[in-house]
Amino acid sequence: MRALSIDIETYSTVDLAKSGVYRYAESPDFAILLFGYSVDGGEVRVVDLTSDETIPTEVVDALMDEDVTKWAFNAQFERICLSKWLGLPAGQYLNPKSWRCTMVWSAYMGLPLSLEGAGAVLGLEKQKLTEGKDLIRYFCQPCKSTAANGGRTRNLPTDAPDKWASFIAYNRRDVESEMAIKKKLAKFPVPEEVWEEYHLDQEINDRGVALDMALVRQAIDMDKSSRSELTRMLRELTKVENPNSVVQLKQWLSDHGLETNSLGKKAVAELLKTAPESLGKVLELRQSLAKSSIKKYVAMENAVCADGRARGMFQFYGANRTGRWAGRLIQLQNLPQNHMPDLEQARNLVRSGNLAALEMLYESVPNVLSELIRTSFIPKSGCKFIVADFSAIEARVIAWLASEKWRQEVFESGGDIYCASASQMFHVPVEKNGVNSHLRQKGKIAELALGYGGSVGALKAMGAIEMGLEEEELQPLVSAWRSSNPNIVRLWWDIDRAAMTAVNERSTTATHGIRFFYQSGMLFIILPSGRRLSYVKPRIGENRFGSDCVTYEGVGGTKKWERIDSYGPKFVENIVQAVSRDILCYAMQNLRDCAIVMHVHDEIVIEADHRMSTEAVCNQMGQTPPWAKGLLLRADGYETYFYKKD
């Protein structure tokens, strides 16, 4: 036996979507119902584990044999569930090194991250059966007790034999579809280096990170008390029956002379600038009640495993056009920042449940709880966190690709890119907290908004007006940045021409060390690392301005599979973010023997022994990959006993 293709159907009372597979499989009532498999591409067999059937011994042995490759679509689910079924101790899982994931392969090729979606785009002869969702809801989840079903809380095969027969057929078809995807993609294999990255990702997900559950539970309780009091105050001020209702509150504001189409965060902040004091108090209370980030504490409580660690928070290739990770469950990619100078004091008050002191010392309990979310992540006993991140990684990568010399000189000298950019744009010296320091903010917003072809709209979206810039300043700022970075502007349009030529002529082109080629209905962009970016069914189309552009199929802004327009600066954004991701992967591989517990954007968090040096970690992280000669990297870090934004 060389390979095993697997799909399983399971039951648990734990909500998989909210808690993730690690917590799901820990449930005392967890069970594998059906085990569909194929050995070496042969006939698909389904073992019904609810009856007297058993999985053949040689197949069970293969699950633990690292010389047998196991394939599944979203293989993490099968691997973790089978680890539980095999009786591995809590917190220990089957070694991911002999596992391959067809979902990762689909993502590598720019396809949807669902078996149904990937099958549809590839035009598989045997598509995933559409009735699967109903069958899963019926057999895999608890059911509501009713008089009609005899008061049961779970549906068994004997309760609906016809549905169970359909479920077996559904399980068999999933294995067939997964195998068909492999066959379709066989001429575009995933490089071994990417599988090694996937295995490291799985190790990090398996390791998880400890949560301070005393803090989490107290925060949830305090939030309930705080919200109850805020709601009471808002009801008292407005006499509105349900002050949490956007419709009712908007009507009340309208009745008092304040019209607004939205009560979103930005809209309320804008209204507060001019609202009379009485209405301002109402808006402030509304703002505090709308703090959605508090929900992350509930997500932590849902996801935490029996050993106090949260697992499964990173989806490899989740952002499939660049290969970057996507956040899952607690969503580490969008944690609120912390700016409180007395973070530890506030943290101790929450841990001890001292709501009275918290209300006395701070203006807003929801704001404090929001800033403390990061601090819920802690190292295990006897360890510390070393948090290290790249300095201005995307700015460094785009300067390197474009050969923008003045920018590279700034990085070489350890200068501040925002000051240097402002100095280059306005032709005067700019120093942070020094001469012309007021211009640094303009340099910063230009750097953040304009590197990928952004213009006035991008500056506004980045908050330029809120930061104090005037409308009439914006276009000159765009012009100044572009004239200061001619090689980056040239990079945009060189990339645009190369992509257009490759698609139009179905040929191979290259520019700035990046190769483009068309093959079998795909546009591939080969990065300096050798990794490919994939664009499905590319062709030359017309953008909204009436110009020719490359279009391709993918998941767009609507979260649906659709045809997407692209052009030079957008391709550059994909390339720069993908190269930055490859640099992060290189650093993670170099630090593999350290206990990496989290990584967020360009940051790595290590659960470290007290003897481990932060400087050594940063030096290792700042090593330039052999494929990126001339790229100047720097990593900075700090030590902490709870996660925070330094």
The torsion defined by the Cα of 217, 223, 229 and 231, in degrees rounded to 10, comes to -140
What is the distance between the alpha carbons of residues 151 and 145, in angstroms, rounded to a whole number?
4
Average pLDDT score over the chain = 93
Span 426-451, average pLDDT: 87
Q: Is the pLDDT of residue 290 over 80?
A: no
pTM of the full predicted structure? 0.92
Ramachandran quadrant class, 421 (left: phi over 0; alpha: psi -120 to 50; beta: rest)? alpha
pLDDT higher for 432 or 10?
10
Q: How far apart are CA 614 and CA 619, in angstroms?
A: 9
Distance CA 499, CA 494 (A): 9
Which of 645, 620, 646, 623 lies closest to 633 in space, CA to CA?
Answer: 623
* Alpha carbon distance 9, 436 (integer Å): 64
What is the biggest distance separating any 2 CA atoms in the chain, rounded to whole angstroms? 81
pLDDT at 465: 83
Cα–Cα distance for residue pair 296/293, rounded to 1 Å = 6
Angle ∠(426,427,433) on CA atoms, nearest 5 = 70
pLDDT digits (tens, 9 = 90+) for 254-274: 888 888 888 887 788 888 888
Q: Which residues contact 426 (CB under 8 A, 6 or more apart)?
A: 436, 439, 442, 480
Query: Mind listing the pLDDT tens digit for each residue in 167-208?
Result: 999 999 999 999 999 999 999 999 999 999 999 999 999 999
Please say if the pLDDT value at position 123 is more than 80: yes
What is the identity of the amino acid at 149? N
Q: Tokens 């090729």 belong to which residue? A: 109
Residues 556-569 as b/e (b if ≥16 CB within 10 A, e otherwise) read eeeeebeebbbbbb
| Res 165 pLDDT > 90 | yes
Q: In the chain, what percentage of residues exceed pLDDT 90?
A: 71
| Helical H segments across 485-563, by residue range | 486-505
List beta partners, residue 608. 384
Give the pLDDT of residue 293. 60
> What does each C-alpha distance from 471 to 245, 449, 465, 560 come to in angstroms?
35, 15, 7, 35
Amino acid 283: pLDDT: 87
Domains belonging to the chain, first-starting first, are: 3-190 (3.30.420.10), 211-334 (1.20.1060), 405-484 (no CATH)
Give yes or no for a contact between 89 and 63, defined as CB atoms under 8 angstroms apart.
no
- Mean per-residue pLDDT for 272-291? 83
Query: Which of 618 and 271 is assigned the larger pLDDT?
Result: 618
pLDDT tens, 228-255? 888 888 898 888 888 888 888 888 988 8
- Both tokens of 637, joined, read 């870090």
Alpha carbons 443 and 48: distance in angstroms, whole number? 64
Q: What is the pLDDT of residue 292?
A: 59
Q: Give the H or E element holding residue 470.
A: none
Question: Tens digit of pLDDT for each residue in 364-411?
Answer: 888 899 999 999 999 999 999 999 999 999 999 999 999 999 999 999
What would the pLDDT profile of 211-231 be if each residue is shown by its tens digit? Answer: 999 999 999 999 988 888 888
| Residues 469-478 pLDDT 10s | 788 888 988 9
Of 177-181, 196-200, 334-338, 612-616, the poorest mean pLDDT is in: 334-338
- 336-345, long-range: CB < 8 A, 24+ apart: 336/293, 336/370, 336/371, 336/373, 336/374, 337/371, 337/645, 338/371, 338/372, 338/374, 338/375, 338/644, 338/645, 339/371, 340/368, 340/371, 343/371, 343/372, 343/375, 343/644
- Single-letter code of the amino acid located at 491: L
Is the pLDDT at 438 greater than 90? The verdict is no
Torsion of CA 440, 448, 514, 525, to 10 degrees: 180
**Per-residue pLDDT tens for 547-582?**
899 999 998 878 889 999 999 999 999 999 999 999
Question: What pLDDT is recorded for position 528?
Answer: 97
Across the range 46-51, mean pLDDT stands at 97
pLDDT digits 0-9 by tens, 517-558: 999 999 999 999 999 999 999 999 988 888 899 999 998 878
Tell which residue, 321, 338, 261, has the closest CA to residue 577.
321
Tokens 């089978």 sit on residue = 82
- The residue type of 518 is Y
Q: Is the pLDDT of residue 329 over 70?
A: yes
Say whether pLDDT at 291 is over 80: no
